[in-house]
């Protein structure tokens, strides 16, 4: 599996495919909430299998907010999400961000903690789903 950074226009069909399944079908997130108009200004990552089929995606907005991390069910638990997140964090480091943040679905908190994110605030609802803000300091090694 490979993870690549691609402009939204180039990757739009792959991104839509994954997010429509994960957020639309599985989580019943309203299309207008998922498709918020921020994709074209965001850094997009796409994971593909050996046949170049999309299996996961994520984005980072220009303010350092990571989001829309989505992996197809058959690829979960295999490190795909971690690889996507690692590429986004490495990109933030290259862009000289001091910190990145995200809104984690509560059920995924332990996943993000394993990726060195820390809870930063109280639980809240986003798209009808419980979330918590999490942050990660970017350290130069």
pLDDT mean over 101-106: 97
pLDDT at position 27 is: 95
DSSP class of residue 7 equals -
How do residues 118-132 score in pLDDT, each as one tens digit? 999 999 999 999 999
pLDDT at position 140 is: 58
Which residues are 65's β-sheet partners?
101
Domain limits, the chain: 2-97
| Spatial contact of 67 and 104, defined as CB atoms under 8 Å apart | no
Pairing of strands 99-105, 65-71: parallel
pLDDT band (50, 70, 90) for residue 1: confident
pLDDT band (50, 70, 90) for residue 5: confident
Cα distance between residue 51 and residue 53, in whole Å: 6
Q: How far is CA 113 from CA 28, 39, 64, 135, in A?
A: 25, 25, 18, 10
Cα distance between residue 32 and residue 70, in whole Å: 17
DSSP string computed for 23-81: IIIIT---HHHH--S-STTSEEEEEE-TT--EEEEEEE-TTSEEEEEEE-GGGTTTTHH
Higher model confidence: residue 60 or residue 4? 60
> Which of the following CATH numbers is that of domain 2-97: 3.40.250.10, 3.40.630.30, 3.30.1490.20, 3.20.20.70?
3.40.630.30
Q: How far is CA 79 from CA 21, 53, 55, in A?
A: 19, 17, 12
How do residues 31-40 score in pLDDT, each as one tens digit? 999 999 999 9
Higher model confidence: residue 7 or residue 108? 108
Which residues have C-beta within 8 Å of that of residue 136, sequence separation ≥ 6? 89, 99, 100, 101, 115, 116, 117, 118
pLDDT at position 3 is: 87
Residue 139 has pLDDT above 80, yes or no: no
């Amino acid at each position: 599996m490979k993870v690549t950074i691609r402009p939204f226009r180039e990757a739009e069909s792959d991104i839509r495919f994954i997010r429509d399944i994960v957020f639309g079908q599985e989580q019943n997130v309203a299309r207008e909430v998922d498709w918020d108009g921020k994709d074209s200004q965001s850094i997009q990552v796409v994971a593909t299998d050996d046949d170049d089929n999309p299996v996961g995606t994520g984005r980072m907005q220009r303010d350092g907010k990571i989001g829309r991390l989505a992996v197809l069910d058959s690829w979960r638990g295999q490190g795909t999400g971690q690889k996507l997140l690692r590429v986004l964090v490495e990109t933030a480091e290259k862009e000289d961000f001091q910190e990145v943040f995200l809104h984690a679905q509560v059920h995924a908190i332990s996943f993000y903690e394993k990726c060195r994110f820390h809870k930063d605030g109280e639980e809240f609802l986003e798209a009808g789903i419980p979330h918590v803000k999490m942050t990660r300091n970017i350290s130069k090694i």
